[in-house]
């Protein structure tokens, strides 16, 4: 799963890659966590548009969000079939700008690792978004990151990873009017092993309040091979990648 990620590229570099007209200015974030606002790119009237939404998918048909587990990830293998995601997969696909993500080892004690592109350039996670309308007409836009099985590089750490959409396939994922969900689903695959690098980082990332460049610095590993020994944050241990927003 993907429960924390990083977006540190200058706003101008992100805008140049994704090709939207808006000129938002946002600070680097080294520990983006569920329920926080996140930038997404989606198509509006045929043009790419920047938006801030809440990380944690809330289907439009939910009556009372207090009784619904928030979905931070959507498993790519079932995204066309699950009631929570199938409409968004058909009509509301988006891209989520990022510069890397954290993953925790499946072994105990769980160790955090930082995964980033070798190119040093920003990347795009495949995402789904939805607008939930409350009983008083209030609207909340939310999103989830689509995940897939890990590539060989990450398989020794964890069995899941976010889907990374290559730049030349942005339109294929975004254009729900011209590209059906089955065609778009062909992009749901692990990233090439050679495109990424990963290394262990400090357990300080476990605390969502921590947000500084030091979080992505390599961990100091002891001679016995032991690094940061602290369990992953609670949200990455919950079943089915679910959280409560309320």
- pLDDT at position 233, please? 62
> For residue 229, how many other CB atoms are within 10 A of its CB?
11
- pLDDT at position 232, please? 62
Is 94 known to be catalytic?
A: no
Give the active site residue among 2, 130, 176, 235. Answer: 2
Where does the pLDDT of residue 246 fall: very low under 50, low under 70, confident under 90, or very high at 90 and above?
Answer: very low
Where does the pLDDT of residue 245 fall: very low under 50, low under 70, confident under 90, or very high at 90 and above?
Answer: very low
The rounded percent of the chain whose pLDDT value lies above 90 is 82
Is the pTM of the predicted complex or chain greater than 0.75? yes
Give the pLDDT mean for 111-128: 98
pLDDT in tens, 91-117: 999 999 999 999 999 888 899 999 999
- Whether 228 has a pLDDT exceeding 70, the answer reads no
Q: Give the integer Cα–Cα distance in Å for 117 and 76.
A: 21
Q: Give the integer Cα–Cα distance in Å for 93 and 82.
A: 15
Beta strands in 122-192 (DSSP E): 123-133, 139-149, 160-162
198 φ/ψ sector (left φ>0, alpha ψ -120 to 50, else beta): beta
pLDDT in tens, 176-194: 999 999 999 999 999 999 9
Mean pLDDT rounded to a whole number for the chain:
91
- Whether 223 has a pLDDT exceeding 60, the answer reads no
Provide the pairing of β-strand 93-98 with 73-75.
Answer: unpaired
- pLDDT at position 231, please? 54
pLDDT in tens, 44-54: 999 999 999 99
- pLDDT at position 173, please? 98
CA dist 18 to 13, 15, 32, 35, 51, Å?
A: 9, 5, 20, 23, 12
Give the active site residue among 94, 103, 130, 235. Answer: 103
CATH superfamily, region 4-243: SOS response associated peptidase-like (3.90.1680.10)
Q: Which residue has the higher pLDDT, 69 or 164?
A: 164
- Whether 243 has a pLDDT exceeding 50, the answer reads no
- pLDDT at position 185, please? 98
Dihedral sign computed on CA atoms, order 144, 86, 135, 67:
negative
- pLDDT at position 65, please? 87
Is 198 known to be catalytic?
A: no
pLDDT in tens, 23-36: 999 999 999 999 99
């Amino acid at each position: 799963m993907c429960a924390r990620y990083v977006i540190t590229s200058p706003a101008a570099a992100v805008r140049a890659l994704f090709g939207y007209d808006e000129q938002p200015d946002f600070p680097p974030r080294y520990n983006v966590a569920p329920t926080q606002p996140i930038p997404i790119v989606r198509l509006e009237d045929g043009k790419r548009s920047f938006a801030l939404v809440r990380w944690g998918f809330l289907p439009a048909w939910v009556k009372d969000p207090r009784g619904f587990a928030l979905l931070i990830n959507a498993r790519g293998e079932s995204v066309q079939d699950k009631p929570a995601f199938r409409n968004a997969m058909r009509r509301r696909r988006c891209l989520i700008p990022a510069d890397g993500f954290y993953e925790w080892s499946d072994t105990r004690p769980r160790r955090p690792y930082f995964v980033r592109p070798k190119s040093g350039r920003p990347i795009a996670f495949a995402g789904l978004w939805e607008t939930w309308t409350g009983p008083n007409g209030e609207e909340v836009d939310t999103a989830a990151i689509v995940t897939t099985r890990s590539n060989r590089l990450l398989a020794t750490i964890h069995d899941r990873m976010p889907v990374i959409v290559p730049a030349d396939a942005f339109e294929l994922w975004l254009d729900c009017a011209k590209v059906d969900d089955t065609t778009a689903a062909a992009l749901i695959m692990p990233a090439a092993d050679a495109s990424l690098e990963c290394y262990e980082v400090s357990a300080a990332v476990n605390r969502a309040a921590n947000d500084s460049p030091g979080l992505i610095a390599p961990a100091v590993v002891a001679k016995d091979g032991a690094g940061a020994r602290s369990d992953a944050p609670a949200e990455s241990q919950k079943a089915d990648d679910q959280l409560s927003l309320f």
